[in-house]
Amino acid sequence: MKKIFTFFIAALFAQGAAAQKLDRSQRPKPGPAPIIKFEDPVIYKLPNGITVLVVHTHRLPKVSASYSIDAGPISEGSKVGVLGLLSGMLNEGTTTKTKVQFDEAVDQMGAEVSLTSGGGQASALSRYFKDAFLLMAEALRNPSFPETSFEKLKSQALTNLKSSERSSSATSERVVNALSFGLNHPKGQFETEQSINSITLEDVKAAYKNYVTPSRGYLTFVGDIEPEDAIALATRAFGDWKGNALILPVLTKVNNPVKTEVNVVNIPNAVQSEITVTNLIDLPLSSPDFHAVLLANEILGGGADAKLFRNLREKHGFTYGAYSHTGSGRWQSTFSASASVRNEKVDSAVVEFLREINVMRMEKVSPELLQSAKNLYNGSFALGLENPSRAAGFASNILINNLPKDFYRTYLQKLNAVTADDVLRVSKKYFSYDNARIVIVGKTDDFLPGLIKSGYQVKHFNRFAAPIE
């Protein structure tokens, strides 16, 4: 017993001596990036054009399926809101089942089935999945479009518009895109009371005929289902489906302001103002800048450790949080930095937003900041692979965006190869300072004098992005 006690004490002293040798003033060196390992899904194409992707896993006795239609940005013209109403109508029953009957059939299986104008989803335990999936297919292919449901959904849409009328955040979300892209651009259009009132049930049916189709469709199965069974089920449900052939839109490129401008919208009852500093960018996933832009955005405004958050919240107390976001893809998107700020601090917050953006454009980030951003992506990317549906998402992204087959297998390799020079270069290219658009929605009486005093040229707009004197 004494020998055991002596050994225990010696071990404690040995551990203490080892701990004393650690230099805690030095940050531990980062380990290598995780090695990306995942199985490719089985891919099959139905004769009508639907691409079927199957990820087979026995982790849980459950299967999920999703059908998505790659139609691209759709311009709704004077009928903005018709696709939203179509999404609702697809959940209102089929030609053989009323909404009540359909919902009861789903509930009895403990399944989840939902439809939108862009596709549908079904999820259930393995033993019930086939029936749940066939219900989704029936709702997509044979909606009943009852008149009473249409009037109900239309009324709800108008009520929702009315309830958000005095909301600064809802108004900001609407006008930022409208001012950035223009009211005639698919990404700049928004619902109004007039557009909703103009929509008829025939408009909804026409939208269904035009956009709910097997053309450019991607059907993904994930879970406890063999690939041959999934393909057979897909063929049974959708094999004879015919529909309109979709052609991706060609959108006119939109320019940023020639010089940085401030656009303001007055919401007299606003306690806080919504500030958005934004500019248009072109960043396809195939761009050699893609990974560097991800890291630059993470350093600037990706979270609570980023520059914007530390400045506007921690240092100045202007807001509860300030963040930035960078879009990407086949069409023009936006870089934006935003926060909800006390009205009386709007002018000061705008100065700090632009200061941090300019620092990113003019100074190299520190090795510590760059490595921290890389570590975050390394961990979150590897953790995301725990979800089997990721592999299917990767495969469909590669097909849709015409990416190299090894795009995701080399993802972290390319990300970890980004240098501070790369971050500086893409910050200059994608984060505008001299030709940005600053959109502020709030109580103008509280912040306008400060903005004008600071020398900004201010343009006024109403809640629907129309200019006013």
Q: Could you list the pLDDT tens digit for every one of the 469 residues in the chain?
A: 455 445 444 554 555 544 555 566 666 666 666 666 777 899 999 999 999 999 998 888 999 999 999 999 999 999 999 999 999 999 999 999 999 999 999 999 999 999 999 999 999 999 999 999 999 999 999 999 999 999 999 999 999 999 988 899 999 999 999 999 999 999 999 999 999 999 999 999 999 999 999 999 999 999 999 999 999 999 999 999 999 999 999 999 999 999 999 999 999 999 999 999 999 999 999 999 999 999 999 999 999 999 999 999 999 999 999 999 999 999 999 999 999 999 999 999 999 999 999 999 999 999 999 999 999 999 898 888 888 888 889 999 999 999 999 999 999 999 999 999 999 999 999 999 999 999 999 999 999 998 888 888 899 999 999 999 7
Whether 31 is in a domain gets the answer: no
Q: Are 198 and 358 in contact (CB under 8 A)?
A: no
**C-alpha closest to that of 218 among 116, 118, 339, 300:** 118
Whether 8 is in a domain gets the answer: no
> What pLDDT, on the 0 to 100 scale, is given for residue 8?
47
Q: Which residues contact 36 (CB under 8 A, 6 or more apart)?
A: 381, 382, 385, 408, 409, 410, 411, 412
Q: How far apart are CA 392 and CA 398, in angstroms?
A: 10
Whether 427 is in a domain gets the answer: yes
The C-alpha angle with vertex 222 and arms to 217 and 226, in degrees rounded to 5, equals 105
Of 207, 238, 269, which marks where a domain is finished?
A: 238
> What pLDDT, on the 0 to 100 scale, is given for residue 32?
63
Of 170, 204, 238, which marks where a domain is finished?
A: 238
- Please report, as a single letter, which amino acid is at residue 153: L
Same domain, 405 and 269: yes
- Segment 92-119, tens digit of pLDDT: 999 999 999 999 999 999 999 999 999 9
Q: DSSP class of residue 385? A: T
Same domain, 430 and 337: yes
Question: In terms of residue numbers, what domain contains 425?
Answer: 261-468
Same domain, 343 and 448: yes
The pTM (predicted TM-score) of the whole model is: 0.89
Number of domains in the chain: 2
Whether 23 is in a domain gets the answer: no
Same domain, 184 and 305: no
What integer best gives the mean pLDDT of the chain? 92
